[in-house]
């Protein structure tokens, strides 16, 4: 990650080369009193290029497509990195607090955080919806979900038993009282090798 102090339209701010959407970009952090001025400057400068404001749901859509986990819903202090798909970020070549409490990296815990794609792109799970087997047995709950606009699919994440966490497993997600067929998929769904974030 890179960080530097820059000025945009006479507004001083910190620019951080970090992403929560899987795209190459910068997060800008001005002092609060300069927020509106920075906003106006960016909107005006971007208008000739078709820049439009995007809010939380746009960010959430992109992070779902990239498989980025949401703290507080997908992952918490109670989840381990291997079961949640974040084992790549663990370096076992040195000591750290909690190292002895980690599960075996080759097996992880009893559950896995899984990416689900619903067969009906217009049925959107937002969180806490039951996830069931075709038999009707509830095996988990949605932790987060939303529309994947780049891919045109409805995406949900849910903790499922390890034995059922394989790509291709058929499940259903109850969306507003209706069981919608879904399938466990390998993630990330969009740009799996991370080409765009390195552009």
- pLDDT(1) > 80: no
Domains and CATH numbers, the chain: 2-53 (no CATH), 63-185 (2.40.30.110)
Residue 70: pLDDT over 80: yes
Sorting pLDDT into bands at 50, 70 and 90, what band is 105? Answer: confident
How far, in Å, CA of 11 to CA of 179, rounded?
A: 51
What pLDDT sits at residue 139? 98
Give the integer Cα–Cα distance in Å for 115 and 129: 14
At residue 142 the predicted structure's pLDDT band, cuts being 50, 70 and 90, is: very high
Interval 114-132 mean pLDDT: 98
CA distance 174 to 178: 5
User: Which positions ≥6 away from 41 have C-beta within 8 Å?
Assistant: 8, 9, 11
Asked whether residue 108 carries a pLDDT value surpassing 80, the answer given is no
pLDDT at 198 (0 to 100): 83
User: Is there a contact between 138 and 90 (Cβ–Cβ < 8 Å)?
Assistant: no
Q: Which residues contact 178 (CB under 8 A, 6 or more apart)?
A: 123
d(CA 132, CA 141): 9
Mean pLDDT of 13-38: 94
- In the predicted structure, residue 109 carries a pLDDT above the cut 90: no
């Amino acid at each position: 990650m890179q960080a530097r102090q820059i000025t945009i339209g006479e507004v001083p701010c910190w620019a951080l080369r970090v992403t929560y959407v899987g795209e190459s970009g910068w997060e800008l952090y001005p002092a609060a009193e300069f927020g509106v001025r920075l906003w106006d400057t960016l909107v005006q400068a971007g208008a000739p290029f078709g820049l439009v404001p995007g809010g939380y749901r746009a960010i959430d859509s992109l992070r779902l497509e990239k498989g980025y986990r949401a703290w507080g819903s997908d992952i918490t202090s109670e989840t381990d990195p291997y079961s949640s798909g974040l084992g790549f970020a663990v370096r076992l070549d040195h000591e750290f607090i909690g190292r002895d409490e980690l599960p075996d990296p080759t097996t992880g815990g009893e559950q896995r955080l899984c990416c689900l794609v619903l067969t009906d792109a217009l049925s959107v799970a937002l969180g806490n919806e039951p996830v069931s087997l075709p038999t009707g047995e509830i095996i988990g709950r949605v932790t987060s979900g939303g529309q994947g606009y780049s891919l045109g699919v409805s995406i949900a994440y849910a903790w499922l038993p390890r034995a059922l966490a394989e790509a291709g497993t058929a499940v259903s997600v109850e969306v507003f009282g209706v069981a919608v067929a879904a399938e466990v998929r390998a993630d990330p769904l969009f740009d799996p090798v991370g080409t765009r974030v390195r552009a």
